[in-house]
Amino acid sequence: MWYSGIAIRRLQQFSLTSLKTIRSPTHILQKEMSTLPRVYVTRQIPPEGLRILRESGQVQFELWDSDDVPVPRQELLQKVKGVDALLCVLTEKIDAELLDAAGPNLKVVSTMSVGFDHLSLEELKKREIRVGYTPEVLTDAVAELTVALLLTTSRRLIEATHEAKTGGWGTWRTLWLCGYELANSTVGILGLGRIGVAIAERLAPFKVKKFIYTDVAPRPELASLINAEYVSLDELAKQSDFLAVCCALTPETKEICNKDLFSKMKNTSVFINTSRGGVVNQEDLYEALSTGQIAAAGLDVTVPEPLPPSHPLFTLKNCVILPHIASASYTTRNAMSALAANNLLLGLRGEPLIKELKL
């Protein structure tokens, strides 16, 4: 079904006399809708974004009306034919095949995500299609979840809950379910951006001794906010008691967390990833965890997603896996959908996007 944000009150402005000279209000509405840019929305996004599209009066849009099941690829290829703009989420691969199917009318792709590894940026650039995304609005939610995952993993809360529920809670024992403290620790951040800074700001009250980070280059302005020291990737691995991965997935960072990195980490280190699953070689991580090379890992992202329940990582007590929920707060998801909708509308008008990927 195609929607329009044109308010009914626009039709009510016509007087009875005027109505005698036109065919019908329905005819006017259909005519106006036919001239509006066409938009396809690949998911039932949170209500704030849909409200903005409906009330804008600028577009007619159709959406895949489900939040549980992604739009099938073949249906997506059909639905995008002739559209002027596309609002997508990270489950849709926007590649040459899809862009060819959409055709030359496509001017804007707006993704409701901070990551953009599902977008073929070279293809979009070649076709001069503008790209909007949603960074910053999810910084607080992701930072909070990262800290929660770190504490859950380091203090073995999932194990403890299981023991309490299944009869393992016996007499008090001196070293039973002992974990690792943040006090006097060194926290390493792989990829220092706003989220990395927000994580460090939340961890500082736990009496962390030192923050270190590595990135493609030093980032002194951000580092000064948390008094963090720039180090090499090797030193990050060697020094970190807790290592939080916050980098984007790029060709350079693909499986950057691998056997070589894990071999340099302490056997008491805790590894946390809330960025993208592709930055980790999961076979190497499994080996490091199962052999005691590192103490524990907490993952909010995996490859693939969802990770099959039969995956070896699920067999490990020292690995906590969440279903990619870092930005899952009502406030943040609505803010993301609103930003994605506004990026799309601005792009169709040829105006600067609020948040645009520079291709």
Residues annotated catalytic, as ranges: 324
**How many CA atoms does the CB half-sphere of 112 hold within 13 Å?**
27
Residues 6+ apart with CB under 8 A from 138: 114, 326, 327, 332, 335, 336
Ramachandran angles phi, psi of 145, nearest 5°: -65, -40
d(CA 4, CA 88): 19
d(CA 153, CA 269): 11
Residues 6+ apart with CB under 8 A from 207: 182, 183, 184
d(CA 213, CA 215): 7
- In single-letter form, the type of residue at position 198 comes to A
d(CA 195, CA 301): 15
